Amino acid sequence: MSNRIPLRGSHIATHHQKLGAAPPTGMMSLTLLLRRKTALKTVPTASRGSPLDRAKFADLYGMKDEDLAAVRAFAASHGLAVGDVNRAARSVRLSGSVQQIQTAFGVAIQLYKDEKGVTYRSNDAEASLPAELGTAVEHVLGLSERAVAKPHVRVAHASTGGTFTPPQLASTYQFPASTGSGQCIGIIELGGGFQTSDLQTFFGGIGVSVPTVLAIGVDGGANVPGGDPNGADPEVELDIEVAGGIAPGAKIAVYFTPNTDAGFLDAITTAIHDTTNKPDVLSISWGGPENSWTSSSLTAFDDAFQSAAVLGVTVCVAAGDNGSSDGTSGNMVDFPASSPNVLACGGTTLQVSDSTITSETVWNDGGGEATGGGISPTFPVPSYQTGLSAALTAGGKEALTGRGVPDAAGNADPQTGYAIVVDGQSTVVGGTSAVAPLWAGLIARINSLTGKNQGFINPVLSAAVSRDVTTGNNGTFAASAGWDACTGWGSPNGAALLKALGGTAAVPPAPNPAPKPTGGHKKHRS
């Protein structure tokens, strides 16, 4: 037997119940991520450099032909089938029986049961590869089929502070007048689906033309409305309706994929390198505590977001809905929002009178639902956060020792939430899930007005282009003047951001009277 090289970070310990060995004849699919031809150069920001087009990116930073040949030979030697190959993303899909996977990757596949009673297959230790593959393979995802993320959407028990439509928020936040024409907003979904009739009802109700919405399946994922027991339909419909309500002239490409690390990554890389729809902005409203991911997944996802930045694709990610703990026993940030190469979007509670903001504070309902935010234990402090510190609820400040989350914020409180249509009925929702497509729609407008993709805008963000939120906390961390670990630099000032990015445009008037989506009332769902 040849020498083998361990795949460091390909396993993470779990508290889930182990049921025993997985049946050897069951089929599995994996994603292998190969090394680049050459290392990425410095990630460009909105204020310097020009993004690469997708064809040139693939030529410069795609996989090596000899590495793909080595993987094909490895697969053939173990009876594994080679599926989709994405040269730009450097990804290769392999499939085979559990027994073939175990032999090829030097690992045992076990059955586990999670806290919801869902059974899944997963490796029980780190995998390895034959030494002859050398350093061609950087990561292997899919050895675990554990659900890695949850939607960051919250359905309101009752609306106590009024509701908002996307056009109302666009006006309130001074978004420049634009439909986002010529843009494509990519949305990543790990379950659920949308119904065309819901979109027609929603957009007709707010007086906005229905955007072009495409459903794109990745790794067997599909648009399946009404079939998700965990209630992913509100997430899908919220994302589309907010993004499309802000930028109805943009095409909306929705990438559906299984809720696994491999599926999630494949949807992201498929969208980033999609040469047909060519998304200019991505919106991601799914995530999980950073410490629940394998280190290999963290690195692979962040690598994909670096690629997006080089391509001029802005990635907006929800920061989580469980406060500074992110649902864990201590302080923890949510991933993929904690990647330093995405725009992490936190949440606020917004109060408006006659289209004028009367109050905006950190979203924290006091019952465990609050905006995510904090300091990453994994990713170092990025250059654009040098010298920043996080205000503490107990008093004082903590200097950043890692990537600070979030970067920006927007209305997220379900009690001052978004009136949307789901499964034929109107409902009010919130959560940081709403903030990612809100920012994605703003970026689409700005891209359309400036005639270029702004790409990675984090270094341009500051209190000068945001509405600073200085009141409230998310648990451990408190709002403060300037950047904080609850709302970042604050909620959007669209006109100021456009100006900082080199554009000029008028701000549209507020809808008056404010249109509302129609449909029956939808009660709370958990």
Q: Which sequence positions are flagged as catalytic? A: 235, 239, 433
**185 beta partners:** 252, 281
Q: Are strands 137-141 and 154-155 parallel, antiparallel or unpaired?
A: unpaired
Assign 60 to helix, strand or coil.
Answer: helix
DSSP 292: G
Nearest alpha carbon to residue 62 among 91, 90, 84, 31: 90
**Pair 446, 506: CB distance under 8 Å:** no
Q: What is the DSSP letter of 349?
A: E
**What's the distance, CA 200 to chain centroid?**
25
Cα–Cα distance measured from residue 498 to residue 179, given in angstroms and rounded to the nearest whole number: 14
- Tokens representing 317 are 């990610």
CA 301 – CA 284 distance, rounded (Å): 12
Helices 196-205 and 233-246 meet at what angle, rounded to 10?
40
Q: Evaluate whether 18 touches 111 at the Cβ level (below 8 Å).
A: yes
Q: Are 249 and 211 in contact (CB under 8 A)?
A: yes
